Amino acid sequence: MVRYKSRYLLCELCVSDQSSLQLLDERAVFTAVKGAVSWAHGDYGAALCSVSFAVKYLNAHTGVVFLRCRKSHYRLLWSALPFITSVESRGQRVPCFFNCLHVGGTIRTCQKFLIRYNTQQLLRMLRHCHSEAERLEVRKAVLSCSVKSLGKEEEEEDEDGCGDEEEWGES
């Protein structure tokens, strides 16, 4: 059996105003990324990247985006991401930038990375807590998404917003 190998880019959409994330949809991200690839790598790069390019997942609350691309040409897509400065959505321009967190071969490894990454972020937040109540709240959140607590795996996946059961790769 032979299958097409893909690369999944786990990106974080950074916006100055969190509420503007709600405006974004997958189509807007798709056109923004495609435009950036076309600008950076021309017709040649845009044609190579458009093969099996897809926005697999977009979380409008946390700004997490999964991009899929063929393994052979994911570098073209990767190098074009920093050139995106805004995403046009529903007639509005949302200034933002893409922060690529992880590049994985399957959507599953990206999901695992995202869970670990979010746990680290929570631990980082624990250090900046001022009151005891805040500290307890964050501690509870850390415990609820700890990988060690196997029983809580299901709800933790929902919390991290990547609990969709995707197939591993397009075949």
20, 32, 33, 45: residue in contact with another protein (rule CB under 8 A): 45
- Helices in 20-73 by DSSP H: which ranges? 26-50
Q: Is 39 a residue that touches another protein (CB under 8 A)? A: yes
Whichever of 57 and 78 has its CB closer to another protein, that residue is 78
Task: Compute CA distances 103 → 10, 17, 22, 123, 130, whole Å.
Answer: 6, 26, 25, 23, 35
Structure tokens at 170: 């397009």
79, 99, 106, 146: residue in contact with another protein (rule CB under 8 A): 79
Backbone angles phi, psi at 73, to 5 degrees: -125, 20
Query: What interhelical angle do 107-127 and 153-160 show, nearest 10?
Result: 80
Whichever of 49 and 114 has its CB closer to another protein, that residue is 49
Q: Which stretch binds another protein (CB under 8 A): 23-31, 43-51, 127-135, 147-155?
A: 43-51
Instruction: Find tokens 């997490």 and name the residue.
Output: 64
Instruction: Find tokens 């900046």 and name the residue.
Output: 128
Smallest separation, CB 60 to another protein (Å)? 30
Whichever of 4 and 44 has its CB closer to another protein, that residue is 44
Q: What DSSP state is assigned to residue 101? A: E
Smallest separation, CB 151 to another protein (Å)? 48
3-state secondary structure of 113: helix
Residue list 86-125, contact with another protein (CB under 8 A): none
Distance CA 42, CA 10 (A): 24
3-state secondary structure of 91: coil
Whichever of 44 and 168 has its CB closer to another protein, that residue is 44
Q: Which stretch binds another protein (CB under 8 A): 39-47, 94-102, 128-136, 150-158?
A: 39-47
Smallest separation, CB 6 to another protein (Å)? 22
Instruction: State the residues that interact with another protein by CB under 8 A.
Output: 37-46, 79-80
